[in-house]
Amino acid sequence: MATKIFKHLHSTVVPVHIENIDTDQIIPARFLKATTREGFGNNLFRDWRFDENDNPKTDFVLNNPLYSGKILVAGKNFGCGSSREHAAWAIADYGFDVVVSSFFADIFKGNALNNGLLPIQVSDAFLRTIFTAVETDPHTEIEVDLEKQLIKLTVTAEQEEFEINPYKKACLINGYDDIDYILSKKHLIEEFETKA
Amino acid sequence: MGNTLFDKIWDAHVVSKNEGFPDVLYIDTHFIHEVTSPQAFDGLRDRGLPVFRPKQTVATADHNVPTIDQHLPIKEALSRYQVDMLTKNSAEFGIELYGLGHPYQGIVHVIGPELGITRPGCTYVCGDSHTSTHGAFGAIAFGIGTSQVEQVMATQCLLQSRPKRMKIEVNGKLNLGVTSKDIILYIISKISAAGGTGYFVEYAGDTIRSLSMEGRMTICNMSIEMGARGGLIAPDETTFEYVKGREFAPKGNEWDKALAYWKTLYSDDDAVFDKVLTFDAADIEPMITYGTNPGMGIGVTQKTPATNSIGTDERSSYTKALAYMDIDDDAAILGKAIDYVFIGSCTNSRIEDLRQVAAFVKGKHKADHIIAWIVPGSKQVQQQAIREGLDKVFIEAGFALREPGCSACLGMNEDKIPAGKYCVSTSNRNFEGRQGPNSRTFLASPLTAAAAAITGCITDVREMLELENA
């Protein structure tokens, strides 16, 4: 089955300048009761975005009209904690196509890639550069080129290469799906089972 | 060059290996629960696929289940729907379900081991990050997302890149009042909540060896809290003794054959790890967390770090965490008043945890203002506790022994800590709002949690134990 395709992106960014953002913050457990993949974006960062009466908290960046875009930038160790894929669904459903951080938790990274959401790991220094640029000028634009594995600040042309597993890169660019790939090895799976 | 235990098990499960691709890894048993499986079942339906090996898939309902009156229908509509979906999906796809009312029902990471499903040398996955628990048996076990749950349902395999290997050794004798929970909280406090990311950890050393299987499960359970994919411990006589005779453990000739293989499962002397860390058990005191990730832990008699000792990049996150907890920097945590005590979760809800708490609280009574919940990890743990009379001890001490489930670890059912309240919890995560919106969590061992319930504040359990031993 084809999945979402990602090649390049040019967008403004939303900075969430906090470290160790765990998946309970991205999507609290009480919203995991849905049985479909849709609609989680409404509750993205729920308890940071809304108070107990569901009023938007004005000090949180997602409620700041100055910031918008398809790129979420966050502090290091993003997506730690629970394996809930609902975190990746919430971020994608809200409208982000890329998450930038200086460090990602493993399970989150995998979940993101399986949903056409590109996690880009940059150096601590480059992350600082992005935060400074965006916090100085909320209209700062960033360009992402997956084929060249490059992330660039449009105005200053400061850029950095990022790493991605070549297989997952091919999946994103072509919309390939892991299950189709493994199913193509079905004879090997059955052979493995008879040996075991 | 020798092999690590991890590589021996991994290599034995590689179905296909291609340069530039992740390995196709065979999964022996796939555990599923109600929260992370419904979308995967829908995916199978969309593709027109069956569950490839339903007999190697085991389901239970744990996250959403109430922990009182489990014989009644679940009150909360969305929780009931999700649990009903699991029942319907399991029936449709031919999967064994240990659902509500079944004598084997319980937290997925408690029932796998107690039923003898979890064994050395095997591979386990579940749409749940604490799947690392099963590594205590010398197995490769880790949490996956729902797309991967669908993948394993469809193929009994997972596309996975081999992680790096880390060895963490703990040597020496544990101090009075220090448990396996304190060991793992100590390790995470030293290497941080991200210190294990990218690695699979093997725990070794004579301190680890001296632990019971349940103690080992507590350690492996929290591997994910340092970011590690999983953790494992080489199987030994303690492991074999635990597995032997359990419901689904191999029997007769099968047992002999399995045992012979299990005895080959250790890291060779000349095996190379990507990273090795060594800790001294004597340095560990009863631990408590003070912040909003499991790496923010200290010995119970220590002070919280001074803000100016924190790196500039991390300072704002540190300040935010302390503000959330309403805790001062550079301050003692001992004596801090608390409101709730939760003893449970896949980390600490097994019979030894309950026995330890019962032995400690016997003849004592909780502080008046404390609400103390004990939530067993499974129906079998609950029944065993009742057979041993632990329930009476708990009731006399003012604790409530509830029915099994994930409960207040993540508050998907009614068991939530109210906003602003403090809970000393034996669970695994102290994230903001984890136990309920705006709740505040101190992670600790069952002993330290029990002591806090008695005194009503954060307490050095050693002082109470010393008094008893005097």
Same domain, B232 and B87: yes
Same domain, B130 and B32: yes
* Residue numbers in B near A82 (CB within 8 A): 128-129, 410, 429
User: Helices A106-113 and A166-174, interaxial angle, to 10°?
Assistant: 30
Name the stretches of chain B with pLDDT < 70: none
Longest dimension (CA), chain A: 62
Q: Which of A106, A121, A132 to mutate to test the interface with B (most CBs of B within 10 A)?
A: A106
Same domain, B151 and B22: yes
B286 close to B458: Cβ distance less than 8 angstroms: no
Which CATH number covers residue B52?
A: 3.30.499.10
Going by C-alpha positions, the residue among A83, A81, A88, A91 that lies closest to residue A16 is A91
| Domains identified in chain B, total number | 2
Q: Which of A48, A80, A185 to mutate to test the interface with B (most CBs of B within 10 A)?
A: A80
> What dihedral angle (degrees, nearest 10) is formed by the CA atoms of B158, B159, B162, B168?
-40
Going A109 to A112 to A114 to A117, the CA torsion angle's sign is negative
Q: Please report how many Cα atoms fall inside a 13 Å half-sphere around the Cα of residue B376, on the Cβ side.
A: 28
| pLDDT computed for residue A63 by the predictor | 98
Q: How many CB atoms lie within 10 A of CB B215?
A: 22
Q: Tell me whether residue B194 is in a domain.
A: no
Q: Model ipTM?
A: 0.96
Same domain, B150 and B87: yes
Q: Tell me whether residue B300 is in a domain.
A: no
Q: Chain A: nearest CA to B193, how far in angstroms?
A: 8
Same domain, B258 and B329: no
| pLDDT computed for residue B313 by the predictor | 83
Same domain, B359 and B246: no
Same domain, B98 and B18: yes
B161/A contact by beta carbon, under 8 A: yes
Determine the structural domain holding residue B118 and report its residue range. 5-161+227-263
Q: Tell me whether residue B182 is in a domain.
A: no
Q: Tell me whether residue B286 is in a domain.
A: no
Same domain, B314 and B258: no
Alpha helices in chain A (DSSP H): 23-26, 46-49, 86-94, 106-113, 124-136, 166-174, 178-183, 186-195
Q: Tell me whether residue B122 is in a domain.
A: yes
| pLDDT computed for residue B425 by the predictor | 98
B226/A contact by beta carbon, under 8 A: no
| pLDDT computed for residue B314 by the predictor | 87
pLDDT in tens, A99-129: 999 999 999 999 999 999 999 999 999 999 9
B412/A contact by beta carbon, under 8 A: yes
| pLDDT computed for residue B20 by the predictor | 85
Exposed / middle / buried, residue B182 (Cβ in 10 Å: 0-12, 13-18, 19+): buried
Q: Tell me whether residue B53 is in a domain.
A: yes
Q: Tell me whether residue B402 is in a domain.
A: yes
pLDDT by 10s per residue, chain A, length 196:
667 899 999 999 999 999 999 999 999 999 999 999 999 999 999 999 999 999 999 999 999 999 999 999 999 999 999 999 999 999 999 999 999 999 999 999 999 999 999 999 999 999 999 999 999 999 999 999 999 999 999 999 999 999 999 999 999 999 989 999 999 999 999 999 998 7
Q: Chain A: nearest CA to B124, how far in angstroms?
A: 15
pLDDT in tens, B180-199: 999 999 999 999 999 999 99
Same domain, B246 and B373: no
Structure tokens at B90: 């399991």
Are B438 and A83 inside 8 Å of each other by CB?
Answer: no
Same domain, B243 and B313: no
Q: Tell me whether residue B205 is in a domain.
A: no
Q: What is the DSSP letter of A76?
A: S
Same domain, B253 and B318: no
B433/A contact by beta carbon, under 8 A: yes
Same domain, B321 and B246: no
